[in-house]
Amino acid sequence: MSEDQVVSVRVEDRIAWVKFARPEKRNAMNPALNRQMMEVLDDLEYRDDVGVLVLGGEGNSWSAGMDLKEYFRETEAQGLRGVRKSQRESYGWFRRLRWFHKPTIAMVNGWCFGGGFGPLFACDLAICADEAQFGLSEINWGILPGGGVTKVVVDLLPMRDAMWLTLTGELIDGKQASAMRLVNESVPLDRLEARTTEVAKLLLKKNSVALKFAKDAVRRVGVMTYDEAEDYLVRMQEAANFHDKTDGRKEGIRQFIDEKSYKPGLGAYDLDKAAGKPGQG
């Protein structure tokens, strides 16, 4: 029996618009959605026609978190085997998204609850609607924020804010989420897609190999000592030089110093002038 399609995908101008697509269930993540997200990421990750991935939600919700019926109750009824399988499926695509080969933007249009903080954190950048509502509802139905969610809020927020959301289960709107730095910025809902497109296009102008190495570095260095980070960054730049078949770093210096055609302080060098297309690393 084939599953309902609960993830939508559209690729346009090198932006992959991936959306949670169970609007009638407020885009709660059920096992089918978790499996389909993994397949979608698999399909998109190394495609040449995809430079940025945006994760949005169909309808008035981004994601109402894990599906309380299908993800929790029904898998628990299957015993530990069922529980562990559904956990692997959800944590699996969150992890895949955290280390996705292209930069990613969460475009939060509405509700974002509990388990939804997993993909929210997995995305490199996050832009939300002022009208969006975020909450750790777990405490309201009697559990702690698991599935990495407590780790997510502690990594993203100061302790008082993390504790507030965790213990009270109170909602915050988009503007509050932006002030708390849970997201990069908040804009009126009718500007959300346009602003997300602008940010995606900004990223598309950058060297794709540098983007992947840079985003990984931001996530990795936090748990390293200074010396470890210094060493990691030196070696990763050397690895990036190897993977970048366009020799982007030299081209960037050439266009500034010799050609004087741009200023790195004010924008990116012209990728099209480089020897070939930016390498996929």
Could you tell me whether strands 111-113 and 133-135 are parallel, antiparallel, or unpaired per DSSP bridges?
parallel
Rounded to a whole number of angstroms, the minimum distance from the CB of residue 75 to ligand COA is 13
Q: Scanning residues 246 to 265, which ones bind ligand COA (CB under 6 A)?
A: none
Does residue 138 touch ligand COA according to CB under 6 A? yes
Q: Scanning residues 99 to 128, which ones bind ligand COA (CB under 6 A)?
A: 111, 113-115
**Coil, strand or helix at 207:** coil
- In terms of CB distance, is 51 or 65 closer to ligand COA? 65
Distance of CA 70 to the CA centre of its chain: 24
- What is the rounded distance in angstroms from the CA atom of residue 187 to the CA atom of residue 26? 21
- In terms of CB distance, is 58 or 138 closer to ligand COA? 138
Does residue 26 touch ligand COA according to CB under 6 A? yes
Rounded to a whole number of angstroms, the minimum distance from the CB of residue 166 to ligand COA is 12
Does residue 98 touch ligand COA according to CB under 6 A? no
Rounded to a whole number of angstroms, the minimum distance from the CB of residue 90 to ligand COA is 10
- In terms of CB distance, is 31 or 115 closer to ligand COA? 115
Tokens of 141: 């139905």
Q: Scanning residues 47 to 66, which ones bind ligand COA (CB under 6 A)?
A: 64-66
Burial letters for 168-192: b for 16+ Cβ neighbours within 10 Å, e otherwise?
ebebbbbbbbbebebbeebbebeeb
- Contact, 27 vs 60, CB < 8 A? no
CA distances from 159 to 151, 162, 166, 180, 249 (A): 11, 5, 10, 11, 39
Which range touches ligand COA (CB under 6 A), out of 9-17, 85-93, 135-143, 177-185? 135-143
- In terms of CB distance, is 115 or 278 closer to ligand COA? 115
Q: In the β-sheet with 111-113, what is the strand arrangement from edge to edge?
A: 61-63, 111-113, 133-135, 172-173
| Interaction site with ligand COA (CB under 6 A) | 25-26, 28, 64-69, 111, 113-115, 137-138, 141
